[in-house]
Chains A and B, each alone.
Chain A
Amino acid sequence: MHAVILDGSERDDSATGMAHQVISDELSRFDWSVESIRLCDLEVADCRGCFGCWTRTPGLCIIDDAGRDIAKSVVQCDLLIFLTPVTFGGYSFTLKKAIDRLIPNVLPFFKKIGGEIHHVPRYDRYARFVGIGVLSEPDAEMKDVFNALVERNAINLYSPAHAAEVVTVGEGIQSVTSSVRRALLKVEAIE
C-alpha cells in the first residue's frame, strides 16, 4: 500500500516538519510505502484555469512540470495526505498550488453526488484522504473551517474514507502522534 504526503509547509516550519515525521513513522510501522512530496522544493506553476486538461490533452495538465507528476502520484496512491500550516482556516499557498493542478484527474461532465452536482470521476478508484493542519496558535474558528474544507474536498476527490485533524504549534510529539493516529485509524490506514 502506497501513501503520498503533499506537504505545503515552508523550509523553516519545524512544527509541520515534526508532524510530517510522525505521519511517515506511523505509516511505515504498518508497512505503508511513503512518498513524501515537499512542495516548497518543487517548481509547480499556478493553474491557468484553461481547462486544457479536459478538452485538449485529456487527463493531463497542459503545463509539463512537477504539477503533472503530483497529479499522477495522487491517482496511483492508496492514501493521500494533505499536510499544511492552517492558513486562514484553509491550505497554504504552497499546498494549494498543487491541489489546483489536480483537476485533470476528474472528467468535465457533471453528475449528481449526494444531491449535489459534481464532476464524473475519470479513474476507477480514488485514494482515502487525510487532511492534517498545523495551527500557529489555538483558534477554534479556523479549526472548524479546516475541517469543513477537508469534508468538502473529500467529495470532490471521491475519497472512500476521509479524516481531518488539527494540531497546534508547541504541542509535544505525543499529542501530535495521537492526533495523527486518530486520523489514520479513522480511514483504516493503521490498526
Chain B
Amino acid sequence: MTHTRTALLLVGSPFGFRSTSSSLGSYLMDRLTETGFTTNKVHIHKSVKSQEGIDELLHLVGISDLVVLTFPLYVDSLPAPVIKTMEIITKHREEAADTRRQKIIAISNSGFPKANQNLVALEVCRCFAQKSGFEWAGGLALGMGPVISRKPLNELGGMVRNVKKALDVTALALSEGRIIPEEATKHMTKSILPRRLYMWMGNRLWKYEAKKNGVIDRIREKPHST
C-alpha cells in the first residue's frame, strides 16, 4: 500500500487566508495536490490564541510529511506569533521525540522591493528546522508582496508569471522528494514590477488611504516627540 503524502500550509500573516502569504502558499498547495498530496491549512495567528488551536496545529504538524510556512516580513524577521508557534512546536517535538522524516520549507514576502531583504528571516526558519528536527528543504523570498494584494495568483495575469514558475518548479521538486531548486529561488527573486513604478505607486497609495481617512494633513505627525 502506498502512503498518501500530506502537506500542511502554515499561514503566518495576521490576515490569515486573505493575505499575500496565503495566496503564495495556496497556489503551491494546489500544485502539490495535483501531484498526489493531501493538504491542510492553518492560520497561525488564530490558532495560537487558544489551547484547542495549538493542539490542532501540533496534531496537523505531526501527521505531515511536508510543512510549508508562509509569512510576511516584519521588521526584517518573522511576525511575533510565528516565532511563538516555532517555540511551541520545538518544545512539543523535544518532548514527543518524533523520529519521522518531515520536510519544511518557508516562503517570505516583503513590502520592500528587494527579495534579498527576506534572507535573514529565512535563515531563522532554517535554524528552527534544525532545532526542531525537520529536514530543511529551502526557502523562497519575494519582494513587492503587496502587489499580490491578497488575491489568488491565477487572477493576477502575466505580472506574477515568475512567481508561479517558482512555485511550479518548487512543487515538482518537492513531489519528487527534492529540495527547492535554485531555479525556483531565482524566479521568485525577479521583480514583479519595475522598482520606480512600485515606489511611485506605493507612495501614492499611502496618500490616498490617508486622504480617505481624513488625516492627510497629519500624515507626518510626530506624536511621540514630547
Contacts and interface: CB of A to CB of B under 8 A. Distances in A.
B208 to A, nearest CB: 9
Interface residues of A, number: 48
Contacts of A51: 209
Contact of A149 (B76, B81, B195, B202): B76
B45 interface: yes
Interface of A: 46-51, 54-60, 71-72, 75-76, 87-93, 96-97, 99-100, 102-103, 105, 107-110, 116-118, 122-123, 141-142, 145, 148-149, 152-153, 156
Contacts of B84: 93
A152 B79 contact: no
A153 B75 contact: yes
B221 interface: yes
B77 to A, nearest CB: 5
A88 B131 contact: yes
A93 B80 contact: yes
B34 interface: no
Given A110-B199, A117-B195, A145-B123, A60 B223 contact: yes
Interface in B96-144: 112-114, 117, 120-121, 123-125, 127-128, 130-131
Q: Which 4 A-B pairs have the closest CB atoms?
A: A108-B206, A55-B209, A93-B84, A75-B224
Contacts of B127: 88-90, 141-142, 145
Contacts of B124: 88-90, 145, 149
30 contacts: A49-B74, A54-B210, A56-B213, A58-B219, A59-B223, A90-B83, A91-B77, A92-B87, A93-B81, A93-B84, A93-B87, A96-B77, A96-B79, A97-B80, A99-B80, A100-B79, A102-B75, A108-B203, A108-B219, A109-B203, A110-B203, A116-B112, A116-B114, A123-B222, A123-B224, A123-B225, A141-B127, A145-B124, A149-B76, A156-B76
Interface of B: 13-15, 45, 72, 74-81, 83-84, 86-87, 112-114, 117, 120-121, 123-125, 127-128, 130-131, 195, 199, 202-203, 206, 209-210, 212-213, 215, 218-225
